[in-house]
Chain A
């Protein structure tokens, strides 16, 4: 086979992927960056150059600031619900029981199969303050379910619970697989020395599982913020008064509802920079260990 043909084949193989990724991912990042320096409404023929004004207003505009604070609240909740909780359960399944591990895996994963629109609908029934089953049970016990859509904080909690319903099984399996890849002889050796189980977990297992757990932690933040978009849009549309909006959802609101393309693009670029930083952490801490969780 001739040399020139040899060079052409990999090029042709990469072409479809490269075309799609550059047209619909890489170039758009640059264009969003460009748009973030203008005031525009997505439709008008002219864009007004405003320099760094859009970035400046991210820190001065009260709504933007509210959205930033909400985003931090979302991240904290997502880490607790979608990372720490499944991690705890995977430790229980791995080290505290012996049977039924396969069955738990199969059942926990079921909600991951369904659309978040379905999840949002079902939970707005389950937690409906008037006609839902939770309100019904609480009423029997002499309590009332608060109208959570009226409170930003409660709405964020419910929206995070909905995503965690979907993501839990998936993250659980990732973390369990990580635990499964820890060499058994290390654990057996510790058992021979009759170290208490919580110390075995804290001092030996958790450090050995660091690669996978950091990977899942970063995934939880990156995907969690994206996932929560759907229940926000279905249930609260960011309300009450931006109380349940976050940086991703507000980008969408600014761009396609309020037609403030400049502010939306600045938010989009800030989100990108945050995710880029998380990618850097992932490469720094996880990629070296990649081969170990198979």
Chain B
């Protein structure tokens, strides 16, 4: 492999890195520019006259802390619900024998392939019938289970040696204690990586909340951001970018903290 050729490949890959990252960097930069400055110094990466005016305007126009809280609260509920329901189901599939086990597992996992538009109308009708439109519960309830989680936890449990559990069972330790004190600590890396992905996905969730949340007080961050984007042109980009910059902080922090866990387990997962 010649040196110059390798260098050429690296240059090519660095260009791709720039395409991946530059839009976000410019977004941060523009959020500290006035609308005027953003027009007149388009390619200026470091703002000439950095200003917090966009963030101040946002604070006046929207209930920023309410938005952050709504998004955080829903993402937390969804994440815990998905982790809880998938771990329980996975342990049933891994440690018990029952009739139609394989068929049931296949049906569960196959639900990953069901397009959301196929189930959207009936789900909307159910949530409306239960009087849950515009509520947190209405958004969260249909999302409390995710077959991706069942699949991943079942795979993770397969790797835990059965002998370990047998020893615990012989010692007469009750099942729920085996689950809490033995399985959960052993699954810690999986819980972190799967949980991080569920949380990020839910933090970014757009389609289903758009159908359920119509009242601005119950909005999440993505819905509020959508309100700042005009399809006819005339979007105030610095303002929209300030809101986006606030939005991306949480997923970025999670990524920086758990990057190793997330990337290691991605090969067998589905980050939406």
Contacts and interface: CB of A to CB of B under 8 A. Distances in A.
B186 interface: no
Given A237-B231, A261-B121, A97 B13 contact: yes
Contacts of A233: 206-207, 210, 226
Contact of A35 (B12, B95, B121, B270): B121
A24 B248 contact: no
Interface string B102-116: 001001101101111
Contact of A113 (B84, B175, B231, B252): B252
A109 B260 CA distance: 12
B13 A136 contact: no
Interface string B174-190: 01000000000000000
B70 interface: no
B211 interface: yes
A156 interface: no
A9 B17 contact: no
Given A35-B121, A107-B17, A268-B120, A117 B206 contact: yes
Contacts of A20: 85, 141-142, 144-145
Contacts of A177: 266-267
A111 B85 contact: no
Interface residues of A, number: 103
A143 interface: no
Question: Chain B, interface size: which category?
Answer: 35 or more
Given A114-B251, A124-B229, A133 B42 contact: yes
Contact of A107 (B20, B207, B252): B20
Given A17-B89, A293-B267, A96 B21 contact: no
A269 interface: yes
A92 interface: yes
A255 B255 contact: no
Interface string A6-35: 110111011011101101111111011001
B226 A117 contact: yes
B77 interface: no
Contacts of A115: 203-204, 206, 221-222, 225, 247-248
Given A89-B16, A275-B115, A32 B121 contact: yes
Nearest to B86: A17
A271 B117 contact: yes
A230 interface: yes
Contacts of A106: 259, 263
B136 interface: no
Interface of B: 1, 5-6, 9-10, 12-13, 16-17, 19-21, 23-24, 26-27, 30, 38-39, 42-43, 84-86, 88-89, 91-92, 95-96, 98, 104, 107-108, 110-111, 113-126, 141-142, 144-145, 147, 150, 175, 200, 203-204, 206-207, 210-211, 221-222, 225-226, 228-229, 231, 233, 235, 237, 240-241, 244, 247-248, 251-252, 254-255, 259, 262-263, 266-268, 270-272
Interface of A: 6-7, 9-11, 13-14, 16-18, 20-21, 23-29, 31-32, 35, 42, 89, 92-93, 96-98, 100, 104-126, 128, 130-133, 136-137, 149, 165, 168-170, 173-174, 177-178, 219, 222-223, 225-227, 229-230, 233-237, 247-248, 251-252, 255-256, 261, 264-265, 267-269, 271-272, 275-276, 278-279, 282, 293-294
9 contacts: A18-B108, A21-B111, A23-B142, A106-B259, A110-B255, A116-B206, A133-B42, A268-B118, A271-B118
